[in-house]
Structure 1
C-alpha cells in the first residue's frame, strides 16, 4: 500500500496517494499509450487521472480485504496476486464506464477481446477485465517491491547506538535507557505529524503495522514485536498481532474462551491464551479511563 518506506518514503497515506496518482497520470499522459490514442493532451490527462485513481483505490481496498486472510497460509507473492486480481475485478466496471465517457476511443475491433466488448455491458466489463488485469497486477507488484525484497523497517541494533564517550563510564542500565529512548524517538518520527503521538493501539497487518492514535491511523512497514519491545513501558503486547496502550484500554475481559481488551474506537482486541496471565498482572480486574473506573469481575 502507499505507506511509509514503500515507493514514497515517509509520505502519509493521503499525500502519498495523491503524489502517486499525479505522477503516474503525468507519466501515462506523456507516454500516450494505445488505450488513450485519439485524445488530445487534456483529455488524456483526465482519462489517465480517472484510470489511475480508480486503480489505486481498488488495490488499496483489495489489500485491506486480503489482510483478513490468514497470512501464514499463503506466501507473500500469492497474497499480492490475489489482491491484484481482486483489485482488477473491482475497477473493471469503472474502467469500462470511463471508456464509455470518452467516445473518441472507439475504434474498429481487431481482436476477439474487442469483439467481446461489442456484445453488451456485461461483456464490456469482462473485456475490460481481461485487458487491464496484467497491468493492474504489474502496478501492484511494483508498488510492493519493498515487501518482495523484504526491505522492512527494522529497529537499529546496538552497533548503531554506540554511546558517546564520557569521563564516567555509563552503567548498563543507563546505556539501555539511552538506547530505548533513541529507538522510541525514531519510531515516533515515522508517524505523520498530523496524527500526533498519543497512540491507542498498534496491530500487525502482513508486513505492516496499523498505528491508531487519538487523531487517526496510518500504516507503516514494521515488525510489531520489535516495536512492542521499545514501547513496553507504555503498553503491552496482548496478542502476536495486537499491542495496546495502558492509558487507552477501557475494559479487560477474561472469561472462559473469551479474552479481549475494549478500546476507545469500539474494537475488542483479542488477548491470546499465552498473554492472559500477563494481561491480568498488568491490568488486574479494574481499568481506569479518565475519572471513571470500569470493573470486570469475569474470572477465567
Structure 2
C-alpha cells in the first residue's frame, strides 16, 4: 500500500469477532427457520459465523507462512476460498443435526459450499478492505519524554556486545553485496512491501516493539502504535536480517522487542513484562525469561 491514513483505535479481536456476532444477528432475522425457535436459531448462526471467522483467520495465518508472490487482496481471497472449502462440511453437519432438514451427501456438500463461498469471500474481502486500501489505524499518540530518550541512549551506549554484533552484521551484509550484487538486488525488490515501506518511514531504530494480533501486526514506535495486515514472523525476519537489529528479540509468542529500547524487567512468577520506551509494557513468556534476564545482566557489566 502506498499511503497511510490514520483512523484511530481498533482492536482486531473485537473487530472481527464482533462482526461475526453482528452477522449472526442479521442472518437470524433474514433467514427464518421453521424447525427451531428464535433463540436456538440465533445460537446456531452465532456458532457458524464465529467458527467461519476463526477458520478464515487461521487459514490466512497459515498462508502467510509461505512466501507466496501474492498481493494482499489476492491472499485474502485465496484464504477465504480455502477456508470455505474446509468449513463447508462442518456447516452442513450443523444443518443436519440441528435443523434436521437435510442429509449429508456429496451433492448437498457441493450445494452448501456453492451457497456459502461467494458471500463469505466477499465479506472477508470487505472487512479487510480498510487495511488493503491503505487506511492506518493508530492506537494512540504516545509522548516520549526526554528521560525516555536519555534512558534509551544509555542502554545503547552500555550494551557493547550488541553494538559489536550489529557492526559485524553490517560488515557481513556489505561484503555480501560486493560478492553477489544481483542477489542483493533481488532481495531488495522482494522487500518492497507494506511493512518495509512503513519501517523506512518510521526508521527501524525507532521501532520499540511488534505485537501479533490475529492475522494483523501492531507496530509500536516512539510516538504511536500502528496496525497493519502483516505477520509477526515475517516482520521479525525483516527487521533482524535486513535492517540489522539485534537478533533473538522475540520475547513472547505474540511479542518482539527492540533491545535498544528496554528499560526494566518486572517478573511475576515464571513470566514477566518489560517496560520499554514510551511507557509501553511488553509481555515476556517463561520460555524467553532467562534470555531477557541475560540482556539486563549484560547492561550491568562494567565497560
TM-score under structure 1 length normalisation: 0.48
Query: Which structure has the larger Rg?
Result: 1
Higher RCO, 1 vs 2 (CA within 8 Å, ≥6 residues apart)? 2
The structure that is helix-richer by fraction is 2
